[in-house]
A and B are shown apart, each in its own frame.
Chain A
Amino acid sequence: MFSLEGVTNFIHTWLNNTFNPTLALLFEFVIVGLSVITLFAVLGLVLVLMERKVSAYMQIRLGPNRVGYKGSLQTVADTLKLAMKEGLTPDGADKFLFNLAPFVVMIVAMLIMAPIPFAKGFQMWDLNIGVLYVSAVSSVSVIGILMAGWASNNKYSLLGAMRSGAQIVSYELSAGLSIISIVVLTGSLQISDIIASQQNGWWIFKGHIPALISFVIFIIAVTAETNRAPFDLAEAESELTAGFHTEYSGMKFALFFLAEYVNIFIVCSIGAILFLGGWMPLHIGHWQGFNHVMDYVPSSIWFMGKVFFLIFVIMWFRWTFPRLRIDQLLNLEWKYLLPISMFNLLLMTLVAIMGWHF
């Protein structure tokens, strides 16, 4: 059966047999870096096309349908257009910070890729504080956004960046608390442990209602953290033209745009790892036959399927709900999500201590 683990093991042994260990490690770094960059490019193309198609069908439209088969090459054409555009730097802008900001946002997205297992045994870095690492690094992206907003020397950009800062700092809390509620169940921060603990069922099924509540809170919080509608105040096309990336053009804008979609992919894969079992196939109790059939589907397909399902849900939010006002946004976090997730964490602790989960 095809597995990505086999491919990586083959490359690893081949490199170690051909070169000395140091050189082999360096080659592996290069290969991993190139694959991450390729993944980013592919994700950008696929997710933007998916978003445009999903939004079109939800608004009773057709969406892109001219370039390629049913518009499948539309995003390639868009990328070409962006690559050929001039990357303007405004006159009054802080040149250094202005040019640095898109790379900060992009590098943060790349760093979070490290502990994500895309398939069984296909993981860059299985560090023992994986979940903590993800939530810590993901909050660095707000620095990139603030940098972009401040350096643009533009009122709209600054407003968008400040809103984004308030929003990400607030929603980090409830996202963190809902992550902790799963950590309470597994007793480990290591991502491979969390996935291994879902061998006999995913936490969203095993953890009863508290897991369901923390899943819903997690989805809401990460929607806010990635600055997507209904929490897209940082961009808010109708109010702030484009928020923090108003002044960006060409490839620098494309980097922000790409980082947004890669961030969606990342938070959805974290959601899939914590609540939907990562690459674990769907197993139902003692139905041996069913479980065996599910095992034949490669683990990479399981992972991608779950992640794309969550991405679809988040897109569904975006094209259904109206945008919140800034005070409503902070009310939602501080008056509703945070108390609920704290109470939920207590409940989850009780469930874990009493062993009520399956």
Chain B
Amino acid sequence: MFLKDYISDIFNAVKSLLTGMRRTGYYFTHHKEIITQQYPDTKQILPERFRGEVIMLHDENNEHACTGCTACELACPNATIKIVTKFDVSPEGKKKKALDTFVYHLELCTMCNLCIVACPTDAIKMAQTFEHSVFDRSLLTKKLNKPGSKIRDGVE
């Protein structure tokens, strides 16, 4: 009985090792499987949900969907986002809270995606960019809403 176990041990070990060698041998002979992307030379293919940085979506009329509700600012775990609000005065004379500046500190951001999840109007999203290095740290503090942009009509 002992001898039978011993021999079956050896047999199974050899079999599993050969299975592994078949796999690596397959990769060695099939170069089309190579997943390396030669980054500066070729255009890199990023996954759809790659989280590069937070951007605000603007349409062709330079309008965004941010209501200035500060849900993202509250959701952010390390104070990356700072919302500055202002009061718009409508033609009827009614005051309405609106976004003035969306300050985004890229140097603090951990790309956790919580702000995107928290946003009730889908005004912000994660971009696919990743080449963030700059020579001056202050360049990492960004204003996400474009100058002169305003909230899209109908977004509450």
On whether the beta carbons of A57 and B21 are closer than 8 Å, the reply is no
Say if the beta carbon of A128 comes within 8 Å of chain B: no
Say if the beta carbon of B10 comes within 8 Å of chain A: yes
The docked-state distance in angstroms from the alpha carbon of A284 to that of B27 is: 32
Say if the beta carbon of B155 comes within 8 Å of chain A: no
The B-contacting residues of A in range 303-334, CB under 8 angstroms, are 316-317, 319-321
* Chain A minimum-CB-distance residue to B20: A320
The docked-state distance in angstroms from the alpha carbon of A65 to that of B38 is: 10
Say if the beta carbon of A59 comes within 8 Å of chain B: yes
Task: Give the segment of B28-36, B48-56, B63-71, B106-114 that binds chain A.
Answer: B28-36
On whether the beta carbons of B34 and A58 are closer than 8 Å, the reply is no
On whether the beta carbons of A321 and B20 are closer than 8 Å, the reply is yes
On whether the beta carbons of A316 and B38 are closer than 8 Å, the reply is no
Q: Which among B10, B23, B33 is the interface contact of A336 at CB below 8 angstroms?
A: B10
On whether the beta carbons of A316 and B24 are closer than 8 Å, the reply is yes
On whether the beta carbons of B38 and A58 are closer than 8 Å, the reply is no
The docked-state distance in angstroms from the alpha carbon of A58 to that of B25 is: 7
A89 shortest CB reach to chain B, Å: 38
The docked-state distance in angstroms from the alpha carbon of A350 to that of B24 is: 38
On whether the beta carbons of A316 and B10 are closer than 8 Å, the reply is no
* Chain B minimum-CB-distance residue to A66: B38
Q: Tell me whether chain B's interface is mostly helix, strand or loop, or mixed.
A: helix
The docked-state distance in angstroms from the alpha carbon of A65 to that of B34 is: 14
The docked-state distance in angstroms from the alpha carbon of A167 to that of B17 is: 21
On whether the beta carbons of B34 and A62 are closer than 8 Å, the reply is yes
A14 shortest CB reach to chain B, Å: 46
Say if the beta carbon of A286 comes within 8 Å of chain B: no
On whether the beta carbons of A61 and B31 are closer than 8 Å, the reply is no
The docked-state distance in angstroms from the alpha carbon of A62 to that of B17 is: 24
On whether the beta carbons of A60 and B17 are closer than 8 Å, the reply is no
The docked-state distance in angstroms from the alpha carbon of A59 to that of B31 is: 10
The docked-state distance in angstroms from the alpha carbon of A60 to that of B32 is: 9
The B-contacting residues of A in range 54-76, CB under 8 angstroms, are 54, 57-62, 65
Residues in A whose Cβ lies below 8 Å from that of B31: 57
Interface-centre pick from B10, B20, B28, B31 (highest chain A CB count, 10 A): B28
On whether the beta carbons of B10 and A321 are closer than 8 Å, the reply is no
A65 shortest CB reach to chain B, Å: 8
A318 shortest CB reach to chain B, Å: 10
Add 11 more A-B contacts to A61-B35, A320-B17, A320-B21 (CB < 8 A): A57-B27, A57-B28, A57-B34, A58-B28, A60-B34, A61-B36, A62-B38, A316-B21, A320-B24, A336-B10, A340-B10
Closest 3 CB pairs of A and B: A58-B24, A62-B36, A320-B24
